[in-house]
């Protein structure tokens, strides 16, 4: 793909930087050509070396998947005189929504462990004891002011705080300062409650409550504030005043991907505060009082700092439409189901996720996310309680409980993997005691709620048979549970007929399927719109239907505007998406007929990855 455009100004440092940033976000490499000179659009020194001047003809060239989109994006940037609004900073959407407000900065100079001062071990130990007492009191006061559903999130921190303080106290007696001891004890953070305890103890050691001081002055910035922080903790979210409408947080010390399921994100989600996780350089570039627009309705999330009036007006309009759409969601779901025959479900990863009215149920309960950050497998009673909490939120609709999905880049401490190939059901079968305990919990929950079992990363019908045998060993009631297969690999697609025959229902995990077919990561949902992937999805649907089995798509492509239409056109029986993205999926199908969806599916499947697939 090639395109040409006249340069409205010389390609000096600022416009060159915008070109490089935008080119780096595209799915295919881009080369720029001016007067016989060429440059990689992702390298600013090469772009500057072009020496391009106002009025020069800039040729933009790209090849491969997404090349049309890439060339068009650079051409639009140049033709609009390098409008910075076209190149927002990107991040990870942890809580979906649109926020517009003045920036309130909550930044923390990293406290390094200081060299031991003159005071001795006994005095350091006493300092830590006092800090722990103060931290415990502050936590108690905070919890007393929270609603019950928020208070329960902080209950584990009481025990965490005690254990951290005890372990740090031993280190002070060995000669470390209290600060050194706290930092060393909390450096392996698997939960943001540990980060919260660390911050609380540091405050107790006399390092001040900068967040509290800044939040007390929030009203001076107006009625709409976007908090920008480099230390996102549950306590920070719990203390935010009503003027805060969104959060931009720099990547923290949690493992990759943990921000979406952190306690801070759960609190933000319950308060309907859009939350974007960005690189530290993005957060650092925002100044106090800057107007910030945060849009986490797409992945990646987009953040604009000091945008133009047109972009702000458009963001406000989109926010109003989202609010209006949410009001009529249940009737819209019913109308779409009657017209298309497609059920709408939600993916849930927390007992605090809301299940919107009108949905057919929970299409995917990510059990591994319910207990994120735990070092050991949860007790059976805890698992039962969590499943029933989700069932209550679903108001009696069916809950599809996916068994622990771990392995590879999704580790769980209580499911260690010996081989890189051990993932999903393969890893569960390698730990039969863990599998049996989880199935027992699901069977107990099934006595009080409508639930079914979903087996992750199924390889063949033998995996389903093995899970059924484990259920049968638990007794007649467990043996009667419906068992489904999650098809996420090309190998499982090849064996789809026998897998469907052995199962009661089928779910397709498009994220992993697309990743394995194309040899890429799971981040881009629209990878599943590649023709090679769509042909595999069509095969699964056809073979499953031949066995009388329903098929649900629970990958991110179901929430993509074009992807939803394509999946319906391929004949899937249900679309399961994140609760916050449900309204977008439903309303993009408003007024669309099944014939329209089939035509779109055929067109996209025939030409491969479509131009503008994420729009």
pLDDT tens digits, one per residue of 281-338: 899 889 999 999 999 988 789 999 999 999 999 999 988 887 766 667 888 899 999 9
For residue 113, is pLDDT > 60?
no
Burial class (CB in 10 A: 0-12, 13-18, 19+), 14: exposed
| pLDDT score, position 411 | 77
Verify whether residue 12 is a known catalytic residue. yes
Of 12, 33, 298, 352, the catalytic one is: 12
For residue 611, is pLDDT > 50?
no
For residue 13, is pLDDT > 80?
yes
Is the separation of the CB atoms in 417 and 408 below 8 Å?
yes
For residue 414, is pLDDT > 90?
no
| pLDDT score, position 98 | 94
Is the separation of the CB atoms in 576 and 360 below 8 Å?
no
Q: Is residue 203 very low, low, confident or very high in pLDDT (cuts 50, 70, 90)?
A: confident
Least-confidence region, from 125-129, 267-271, 505-509, 550-554? 267-271
| pLDDT score, position 373 | 64
Least-confidence region, from 66-70, 479-483, 552-556, 590-594? 66-70
For the beta carbon of residue 175, count every other beta carbon within 10 angstroms: 12
What does the CA dihedral 354, 359, 360, 366 come to, rounded to 10 degrees? -30
Please compute the mean of the pLDDT values over residues 415-439 and round it to a whole number.
Answer: 89
Q: What domains can you pick out in the chain, each with its CATH number?
A: 2-87 (3.30.1340.10), 92-106+224-319 (3.50.30.10), 121-211 (no CATH), 337-607 (3.20.20.60)
Please compute the mean of the pLDDT values over residues 128-149 and round it to a whole number.
Answer: 89
Please compute the mean of the pLDDT values over residues 340-350 and round it to a whole number.
Answer: 93
Alpha-carbon distance of 271 to 245, in angstroms, equals 9
pLDDT higher at 214 or 397 = 397
Buried b (16+ CB within 10 A) or exposed e, 118-133: eeeeeebbebbeebbe
Closest CA to 371 of 156, 179, 564: 156
Q: What is the pTM of this model?
A: 0.65
**168-177 confidence digits (pLDDT tens):** 999 999 888 8
Query: Quick one: what percent of the chain has pLDDT higher than 90?
Result: 60
Q: Pairing mode, if any, of strands 398-402 and 343-348?
A: unpaired
* Sheet strand arrangement including 30-34: 2-6, 57-62, 30-34, 37-40
């Amino acid at each position: 793909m090639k395109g040409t455009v006249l340069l409205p100004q010389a390609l000096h440092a600022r416009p060159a930087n915008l070109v490089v940033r935008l080119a780096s976000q595209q799915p295919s490499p881009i080369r720029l050509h001016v007067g016989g000179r060429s440059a990689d659009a992702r390298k600013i020194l090469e772009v500057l070396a072009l020496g391009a001047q106002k009025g020069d003809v800039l040729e933009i060239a790209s090849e491969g998947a997404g090349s049309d989109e890439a060339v068009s994006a650079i051409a639009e940037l140049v033709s609009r005189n390098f409008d910075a609004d076209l190149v927002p900073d990107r991040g990870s959407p942890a809580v979906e929504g649109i926020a517009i407000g003045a920036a309130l900065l909550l930044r923390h100079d990293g406290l390094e462990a200081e060299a031991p001062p003159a005071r001795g071990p006994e005095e350091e130990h006493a300092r830590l004891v006092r800090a722990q007492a103060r931290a415990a009191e502050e936590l108690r006061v905070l919890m007393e002011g929270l609603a019950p559903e928020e208070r329960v999130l902080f209950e584990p921190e009481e025990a965490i705080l005690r254990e951290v303080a005890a372990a740090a106290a031993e280190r002070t007696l060995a000669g470390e300062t209290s600060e050194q001891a706290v930092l060393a004890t909390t450096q392996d953070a698997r939960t943001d409650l540990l980060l919260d305890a660390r911050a609380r103890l540091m405050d107790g050691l006399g390092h001040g409550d900068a967040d509290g001081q800044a939040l007390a002055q929030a009203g001076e910035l107006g009625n709409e504030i976007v908090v920008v922080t480099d230390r996102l903790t549950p306590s920070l979210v719990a203390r935010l005043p009503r003027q805060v409408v969104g959060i931009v947080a720099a990547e923290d010390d949690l493992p990759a991907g943990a921000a979406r399921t952190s306690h801070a994100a759960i609190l933000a989600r319950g308060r309907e505060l859009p939350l974007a996780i960005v690189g530290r350089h993005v957060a650092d570039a925002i100044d106090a009082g800057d107007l910030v627009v945060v849009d986490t309705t797409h992945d990646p999330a987009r953040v604009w700092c000091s945008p133009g009036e047109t972009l702000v007006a458009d963001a406000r309009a989109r926010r109003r439409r989202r609010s209006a759409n949410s009001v009529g969601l249940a009737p819209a779901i019913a109308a779409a189901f009657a017209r298309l025959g497609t059920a709408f479900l939600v993916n849930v990863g927390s007992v605090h996720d809301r299940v919107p009215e009108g949905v057919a149920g929970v299409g995917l309960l990510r059990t591994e996310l319910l207990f994120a950050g735990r070092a050991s497998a949860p007790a059976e009673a805890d698992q039962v309680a969590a499943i029933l909490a989700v069932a209550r939120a679903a108001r009696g609709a069916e809950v599809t409980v996916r068994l622990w999905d771990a392995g590879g880049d999704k580790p769980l401490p209580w499911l260690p993997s010996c081989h890189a190939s051990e993932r999903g059901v393969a890893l569960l079968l390698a730990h039969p005691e863990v599998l049996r305990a989880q199935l027992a919990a699901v069977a107990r929950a099934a006595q009080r709620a409508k639930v079914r079992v979903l087996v992750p990363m199924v390889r063949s019908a033998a995996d389903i048979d093995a899970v059924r045998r484990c259920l049968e060993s638990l007794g007649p009631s467990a043996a009667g549970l419906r068992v489904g297969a999650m098809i996420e690999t090309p190998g499982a697609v090849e064996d789809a007929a026998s897998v469907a025959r052995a199962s009661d229902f089928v779910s397709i995990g498009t994220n992993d399927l697309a990743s394995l077919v194309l040899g890429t990561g799971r981040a881009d949902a629209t990878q599943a719109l590649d023709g090679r992937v769509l042909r595999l999805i069509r095969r699964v649907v056809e073979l499953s239907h031949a066995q009388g089995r329903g098929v649900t798509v629970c990958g991110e492509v179901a929430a993509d505007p074009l992807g939803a239409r394509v999946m319906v056109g391929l004949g899937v029986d249900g679309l399961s998406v994140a609760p916050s993205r449900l309204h977008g999926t439903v309303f993009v199908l408003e007024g669309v007929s099944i014939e329209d969806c089939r035509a779109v599916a055929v067109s996209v499947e025939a030409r491969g990855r479509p131009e503008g697939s994420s729009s």
